[in-house]
Chains A and B, each alone.
Chain A
Amino acid sequence: NAGVTQTPKFQVLKTGQSMTLQCAQDMNHNSMYWYRQDPGMGLRLIYYSASEGTTDKGEVPNGYNVSRLNKREFSLRLESAAPSQTSVYFCASSDSPDLIGYTFGSGTRLTVV
């Protein structure tokens, strides 16, 4: 049972480049989330998908787009990367509506130069 799988694990982008972070879960969870983690800032919600077919903005959505491709997959896209988007990105899933215990992926460490 893999849980939540994120790819890639590491990525270096040049300013202005685009990329998509992939996330897939095999727990049949309804809800999926994208967080970014910066030193001293904790985990900040970028976007979430409460159920298949729906997506909503979180605390820091600017510069990002998401796609809930199906129940398993939730991708995060950076259209034009900026140095301020250098961060560690975590995908998580949970079985709504109780929200008991998010399961996190291992993260993507992104550097924008």
Chain B
Amino acid sequence: GQQVMQIPQYQHVQEGEDFTTYCNSSTTLSNIQWYKQRPGGHPVFLIQLVKSGEVKKQKRLTFQFGEAKKNSSLHITATQTTDVGTYFCAGTNSGYALNFGKGTSLLVTP
């Protein structure tokens, strides 16, 4: 079945440093979504990418969808302590339910 793999599993940065998490799928995806989960909270939808090579920005966050629609990345510029949490990518090729990666846990120290 479809697998969505995410690296790294953990990342610890100093406030102000940049952060990137990568997502790879074993199959071509119809779309990819990104979610953020704060410690003790629930996943919250951030963004969806649909087109091959698509790039979207949300303030300091930049999301990319690969040309082959099998990989994606999330880049955070100049991290802040409010960025702490686990970032999940999720994709589907079936149109029925999302398969989530295992997530990247980001710790930001002041």
Collect the chain B residues with CB atoms within 8 Å of residue A42's CB.
6, 88, 100-103
* A-B Cβ contacts below 8 A, count: 60
* Interface residues in A, total, Cβ within 8 A: 27
Cβ-closest chain A residue relative to B6: A42
B45 in complex: contacting residue of A33, A41, A50, A102, CB < 8 Å:
A102
* Interface residues in B, total, Cβ within 8 A: 24
Q: Would you give the 0/1 interface string for A56-75, flagging 1 where the beta carbon is closer than 8 Å to chain B?
A: 10110000000000000000
Collect the chain A residues with CB atoms within 8 Å of residue B9's CB.
40
A101 in complex: contacting residue of B48, B96, B99, B102, CB < 8 Å:
B48
Q: Which residues of A contact B (CB under 8 A)?
A: 31, 33, 35, 40-45, 48, 50, 56, 58-59, 90, 92, 96-97, 99-107
Q: Which residues of B contact A (CB under 8 A)?
A: 1, 6, 9, 31, 33, 35, 41-45, 48, 88, 90, 92, 95-103
